[in-house]
Each structure stands twice: as C-alpha cells, then as structure tokens.
Amino acid sequence: MSPARRHRVLPTTDELRVWRGFIEAAEALRGELGSRLQSEAGLSSSDYTVLLALSEADGQRLRSSQLAAGVGWERSRLSHHLGRMERRGLIRRENCTTDSRGAEVVLTDEGAAAFRAATVPHLTAVRELFVDALSPDQLAAAGEIAAALGERLAFQRKNSPTDNRGHSRTNSPPPAKSPRHCASGSPHGTGTARDRLAKPELHAALGERLAARPERHPCLPGSAGPRQEQSCHGAGHRR
C-alpha cells in the first residue's frame, strides 16, 4: 500500500464504487438466500443460523452466552429470537445443573428435522448464487478478502476502548478464572466462541450426506400424514 493511500482519511471515488458494489451485492445475496430458505423450508435466516450453531455443538447444546457470541448477536436479540423458536418447538432452554448463572439452549428433534430438511436446498442455493458465479481464482480471492476483513475487525475490537454498544471495556467484568461445565460436559471458558462454532467442513459433509439420502420434512410439499402436518403447524412453519 502506498504512503499516499495509507494516510488518506476518506476513500476515493473508485474505492467507494468498489465498497458500494460489495455491500449491495452482499445484501442482495443474503436477501435472495433468505427468501429461498423461507419459501423452501419455512425457516428464516436467523432460525437457520441458530440451528446450524446448535447442530454443530457438542451434544447439540450451547450456553446462551456462548451462542450469542458465536453468531455475533446481542444477548437481548438472541433471547427474543430464542423465545420465538422455543414456541415453535425448534429449541428448548434448560437450566445448567452445575452453573446457576446461566442456561443452555438445546436443539430439539423438531429443530434437528427442520435443519436437515433445509440444508440441501440452502446449500444448493449457495452453490448456484455464490460458488458458480465465481471462477476458482475469484473464489480463492473472496476467501482472502473475507479473512482480511475479519482480521481487521478483530484487531479493531481488541484495541477499541469501547464495545459495539459504546460501553467502556475497562468496566467489563473479568473473565472467569476456570472454565464452567454444564450438562453437556463441555467447557465454556476457553477459546473463542466463533472458533468453536465455525465448522464449515461439518456443514458441507452434512449437505453431501443428505443430498445422497434426501429426507423430506413434514412441512414440505409431498409429505404425508395429518399427524405430521399438525406437528408442523404447531411449530409455526409455513406451508
């Protein structure tokens, strides 16, 4: 990077053009993927994000604080969304038997079935709209760009005197001296939540298995049985 570019305060016209193109394309891609996910599986993008994290967790359960950090949400947003998912039967919340300070979010059988039913069509859409639109070199470059942006954001958060809500980091409570354990037996005090939850190889492998042995979700067209349909309606899925 040249000294002139490094010391420039505002982006140039060409840099802004790239920025706007990147943001607009990303928003359009997210919107189309979310629309397809809702119409094909009856799940919102937020539903799928939570179900994905839980499906990849040990015992298919996570502390709510760990889940919030892993998906990058505020605790209040997660709590409200978990309430809606719990009423639909996709997850349940349980008290942690060995740590009274928190609760665990657990993937239910209905939530696991909904996630499996959504995975193949969702990953098919990802390939169609994202992977197939790029050459191998462009795909590799996209990965490098994502990594560079992630590193910059992590550096900014680490060195910022305030968190993303404007609260001083100096007033934050100190981390626990030892990891806590819940019913799942997994420690919740070591590593970063995003490192523990980011398992794309598991997601891809699941998609391959389900594509080879497709499993129909009761709420999708072609399913059978009024008992199954009643269960889906109770879970809040759209037909």
Using H for helix, E for strand and C for coil, what is the string for 16-49? HHHHHHHHHHHHHHHHHHHHHHHHHHCCCHHHHH
- Percentage of the chain exceeding pLDDT 90: 56
- Residue 3: the pLDDT is 61
| Beta-sheet strands, E only, within the chain | 61-63, 91-95, 103-107
- H helix or E strand, kind and range, residue 150: helix 136-159
Average pLDDT in the 103-131 region?
Answer: 95
- List 187's β-bridge partners, or say none: 181
Contact call for residues 106 and 97 (beta carbons, < 8 A): no
pLDDT range class, residue 226, cuts 50, 70, 90: very low
- Percentage of the chain exceeding pLDDT 70: 67
Model confidence pLDDT, tens digit, residues 45-94: 999 999 999 999 999 999 999 999 999 999 999 999 999 999 999 999 99
- H helix or E strand, kind and range, residue 70: helix 64-71
Structure tokens at 58: 């040990």
Model confidence pLDDT, tens digit, residues 37-48: 999 999 999 999
More confident site: 97 or 31? 31
Question: Considering the entire predicted model, what is its pTM?
Answer: 0.70
pLDDT range class, residue 189, cuts 50, 70, 90: very low
β-sheet with 103-107: strand ranges across = 61-63, 103-107, 91-95
More confident site: 235 or 108? 108
Average pLDDT in the 106-122 region?
Answer: 96
Average pLDDT in the 115-129 region?
Answer: 95
- 35: Cα separation from own chain's centroid: 16
- Residue 96: the pLDDT is 78
